[in-house]
């Protein structure tokens, strides 16, 4: 075998990024080239390096971006170039995924390859629908069957008689278009018409749909709701357990599409919390966080940290920026000396603790007004020296109010908020009314969202709920003509998520 290049045939699982194996993630991180399918969640591509070549070769409903022979040739060619190639396939490469054909082509070409198994949708989709594919009270046999055989075969090779009379659970892949034929064959060869059936579309994803019935009714029910592929068809008594065991679609935000406007580097925490509650999350970063164009004022203030009575941190970004400047100066938290530290927000508090600082003051409400009141109540304003690292567009309320009360305030730009390039896919969702909620965690995210969307769509969509992390953000959003319909009681990411849960649970019918 040749020593140059290798192809990893990686099963991406059924769609939920959490079901990709650790080995699969490792391969993506190593990849020079990723060749990916229609059914592979594109979130997986974020684990590859930005410079990695990404090639889409998806196939669906008779539309082929690239035929199988050309995909095989592509894998061989890239491997011969000495590349680390990941062939990312939905489900498992060897379960109705044509991975065996690709592996054989690589073997015959003398190329190295490795198979990385994936969670197959015939198991995962039922599990997320609340259906265990095996249960000792229901079945002792489990069968996986293609619902779409090779059209070039002269006749079916499926043993319908054995499947019908075997009494086990049947999972048909890619069978929506041939559902009536599947039902007809099973009943003809002995399956009872009252046998439970479920079709699961987009299994494990927030867009999951489940249609239930029996062999006697399922074709009409699927036709009535207009269910489209891809879907798994599950036949057997285990389907009846869904009434008790369904969990995925019972989560409070299931079926809701939430747009997150935070910077991409800061969106993972809120996105994960929303996804864990069932929401489909669309990342639409409206800002990028960048260093100040002139960092000398920040460096000078950081070099003199111990000369201030108070250092005020108003966000996680200010903490990161100050400590980056400290590191560049060869210092650490000891440079604060006797200076006291105040923080707005639980996330800012936690980041300071990670850096080795425990704030002396954190107001109960996470606003500039609350911090000002707390300092005033403590008699810590008049005659005191303050350092405030800030965003370039931060409102002047707090430093102005401190100066008016007799304090000396040194400000320095710690970071800049720069408008991000718009995501066309999310703009299309907004254009078509597909978003339920748009979240804002700062005035700048709201302002940039309004500018981007107005430029792209002509106006702001009126059929979406705008949700704010707190009063300062709500005020900034209102100035941009955004009508805030929901505001977090506690100005934190968990507080914003909790507000969304309360809103949608309160509006359930």
Catalytic annotation, residues = 37, 59, 174
Separation CA 22–CA 31 (nearest Å) = 14
Q: Dig out the tokens for 405 from the structure.
A: 């009360």
- The end-to-end CA distance of the chain, in Å, is 63
422: cis peptide before it, omega within 30°? no
Element (H, E) at 260: strand 257-260
Q: Dig out the tokens for 65 from the structure.
A: 């971006």
Measured in degrees and rounded to the nearest 5, phi and psi for residue 287 equal -135, 155
Separation CA 195–CA 306 (nearest Å) = 76
Q: Dig out the tokens for 388 from the structure.
A: 């405030």
Separation CA 30–CA 116 (nearest Å) = 14
User: Which three-class secondary structure state does DSSP give residue 412?
Assistant: strand
Nearest to 164 by CA among 126, 191, 139: 191
Element (H, E) at 201: strand 196-201
Residue-wise DSSP of 371-400: HHHHHHHTT-STT-EEEEEEETT--SHHHH
Contacts of 268 (CB under 8 A, 6+ apart): none
Q: Are 437 and 465 in contact (CB under 8 A)?
A: yes
Contacts of 179 (CB under 8 A, 6+ apart): 147, 199, 218, 219, 222, 233
Separation CA 17–CA 6 (nearest Å) = 24
Separation CA 165–CA 188 (nearest Å) = 10
Separation CA 255–CA 277 (nearest Å) = 10
Residue-wise DSSP of 417-444: EEEPPP-HHHHHHHHTT--SEEEESSHH
Measured in degrees and rounded to the nearest 5, phi and psi for residue 181 equal -70, -40
Nearest to 226 by CA among 176, 180, 171: 176
């Amino acid at each position: 075998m040749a020593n140059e290049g290798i192809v990893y045939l990686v099963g991406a699982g059924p769609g939920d990024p959490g079901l990709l194996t650790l080995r699969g993630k490792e391969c993506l991180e190593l990849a020079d080239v990723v060749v990916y399918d229609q059914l592979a969640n594109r979130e997986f591509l974020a684990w590859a390096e930005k410079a990695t070549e990404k090639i889409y070769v998806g196939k669906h409903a008779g539309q082929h971006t690239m035929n199988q022979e050309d995909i095989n040739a592509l894998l061989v060619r890239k491997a011969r170039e000495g590349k680390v190639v990941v062939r990312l396939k939905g489900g498992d490469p060897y379960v109705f995924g044509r991975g065996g054909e690709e592996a054989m082509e690589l073997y015959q070409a003398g190329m190295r390859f490795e198979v990385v198994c994936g969670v197959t949708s015939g198991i995962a989709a039922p599990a997320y629908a609340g259906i265990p594919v095996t249960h000792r009270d229901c079945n002792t046999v489990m069968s996986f069957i293609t619902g779409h055989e090779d059209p070039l075969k002269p006749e079916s090779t499926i043993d319908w008689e054995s499947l019908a009379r075997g009494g086990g659970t049947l999972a048909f892949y890619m069978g929506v278009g041939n559902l009536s034929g599947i039902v007809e064959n099973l009943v003809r060869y002995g399956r009872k018409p009252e046998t439970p059936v479920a079709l699961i579309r987009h299994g494990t994803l927030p867009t999951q749909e489940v249609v239930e019935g029996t062999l006697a009714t399922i074709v009409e029910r699927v036709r009535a709701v207009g269910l489209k592929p891809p879907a798994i068809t599950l036949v057997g008594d285990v389907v009846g357990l869904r009434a008790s065991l369904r969990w995925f679609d019972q989560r409070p935000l299931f079926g809701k599409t939430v747009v997150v406007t935070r910077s991409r580097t800061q969106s993972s925490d809120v996105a994960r919390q929303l996804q864990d509650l069932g929401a489909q999350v669309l990342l639409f970063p409206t800002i990028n966080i960048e260093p100040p164009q002139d960092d000398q004022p920040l460096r000078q203030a950081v070099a003199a940290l111990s000369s201030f009575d108070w250092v005020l941190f108003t966000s996680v970004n200010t903490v990161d920026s100050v400590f980056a400047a400290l590191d560049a100066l060869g210092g650490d938290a000891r440079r604060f000396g006797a200076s006291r530290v105040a923080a707005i927000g639980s996330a800012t508090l936690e980041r300071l603790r990670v850096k080795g600082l425990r704030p002396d003051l954190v107001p109960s409400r996470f606003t500039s007004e609350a911090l000002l009141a707390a300092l005033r109540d403590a008699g810590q304003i008049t005659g005191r020296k303050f350092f405030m690292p800030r965003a370039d567009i931060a409102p002047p309320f707090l430093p102005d109010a401190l100066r008016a009360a007799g304090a000396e305030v040194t400000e320095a730009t710690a970071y800049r908020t720069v408008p991000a390039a718009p995501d066309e896919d999310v703009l299309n969702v907004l254009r078509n009314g597909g978003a339920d909620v748009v979240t804002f965690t700062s005035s700048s995210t709201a302002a940039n969202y309004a500018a981007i969307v107005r430029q792209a769509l002509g106006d702001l969509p009126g059929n979406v709920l705008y949700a704010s992390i707190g009063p300062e953000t709500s005020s900034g959003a209102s100035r941009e003509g955004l009508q805030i319909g929901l505001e977090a009681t506690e100005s934190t990411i968990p507080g914003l998520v909790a507000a969304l849960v309360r809103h949608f649970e309160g509006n359930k019918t």
